[in-house]
Structure 1
Amino acid sequence: MALDQIPESPEEEMGFLDHLEELRWHLVRAVASVLVFTIVAFLFKDFIFDVLILGPTESDFWTYRKLCELSSLLDTPALCLEPFEMDIQNRNITGQFVWHIKSSLVVGLVIAFPYAFWEIWRFVKPGLRSNEKKASRGVVFVVTILFLSGVVFGYFIVTPLSFNFLQNYTLSPKIDNDYDLSNIIGMVATLALACGVMFQLPVVTYILSKAGIVTPKLMRSYRRHSFVVILVISAIITPPDVMSQVLIALPLTFLYEVSILVSKRIERKRIKREQEEAL
């Protein structure tokens, strides 16, 4: 066979513009998935608002009921929170429609997150080396589980307890609490999404440890400092009540300890690999 008849390799190196084009289509599919679930959420308005978003504002919400059941089981009234009623108003003529769209977008983002992240990972994965691909197996599953766990924790634990505390906190009986719709929806979305993002701490630690930026020794030496940072972050994203801050700080502290174990495992593998290469 002549040299000019030899077929070209099917795995030709992609140029910069080719990479951009591929990234564009991955992003298009990721955004499309969010939009699809946003439209679905928009159509199920009654469930999204009456059950999902406004659920934590009702005294018979799942979290409050379970706390009362636990209080009865432990024979202590401390966990059975005081009933409350929140009056919600809309003070903007376009408010209900605009927040309908925004709320649907948040729900669509949460539901579509696993697929959207998988699309981004499909673009990143081919650029990794074989050992990096092997080490990153299951990353989509882990990231998704951590994100959804954080969202569930923020929605079922932090949000209702924050609502209960703030509603029952009064300066004077002469002051009535009338909440704007934007405050309620914004608080639910912020707490749920913030917890979902912060629950990615072990994944971030894994990446930094693989890059040699973070070591278990470093994380142990800054354990106290990290606890202060966690409290500061919790205070920023939660309402100004101690209970909400502690509720977020506790799982983050636990995840920090898990991250130390993750970093320790990576360091152990790196040392073992270097010893094998030295032989």
Structure 2
Amino acid sequence: MNKEIFFNKKSIFFTIAIGIFLGFYFSPYMNITNAEKDIISIIIFSYGHLEISGINNVLPVLIWIFPQVFLMHKLGGYISDYISLFSVYIFTRTNNRVAWVLKLFGDLLLKVSIYYSLQFIGVFIVILINRVDMINFTIVKDIILVYLLVVLSGYFLVVLTNVLSTLLKSNYSYIIILFLYVLSIFSAGVIYNHFPDKLYFIKYIPFFQSLITWHDSGTFLLKYTNLLNLSIEGFTIIYSLIYLIVCSVLVITYFSIRIKRLDIY
């Protein structure tokens, strides 16, 4: 998938529209009496919330996974498509395949960042419509932290999908990742309802790292404790950031080693 396809006007409009929809959908969670918490709450609920006690309801789950599914649809086959188009050049003329692979993964990180930036613009449009205009350094810092977590979570999902689609040489990677995603979500509901003493397992599942309302209150979420519907001990924002970075690096490293050994696609 080339740059023009990903950044065409229709895709940009639709991506911003996703953010606007999420902003309006979660507007009831806004606390109009406290502008600072108001801004953070709508962002956190738009991108980091899923009511675990209501996971059996299909609609909240669909709303939660849709932005990720759309991202997978746009970028999940980016590397495999690139290899299909330029396999002869890559495998016969490229001296350093690893450098080429890292460049593609760097392009993916940029695209994922732009994707969520556009969606955040959509959410901020809703915030402005609601006339919440209190912005200070603390809010900006917290928004950036949430943004980084959402981007890294989306990036890991895209990295995993691209690696699978390339190694399997098929589109089954979308089905596999989506199946694992949905299975993980409903498994979390089972753990919550039937094995509450095992809730700590949730923090080891990669798909839940951006679910901010499931995190330990810690230093970041302490001032937003009224937003939390689940607090898993040790499941902090910093933990999730490190977790996602390490997992992404490991998957990219594995793929880089495999690509050095691959014959022409």
- Normalising by structure 2, we get a TM-score of 0.28
Give the structure, 1 or 2, with the largest relative contact order (CA under 8 Å, sep 6 or more).
2
Q: TM-score, length-normalised on structure 1?
A: 0.27
Structure showing greater Rg: 1
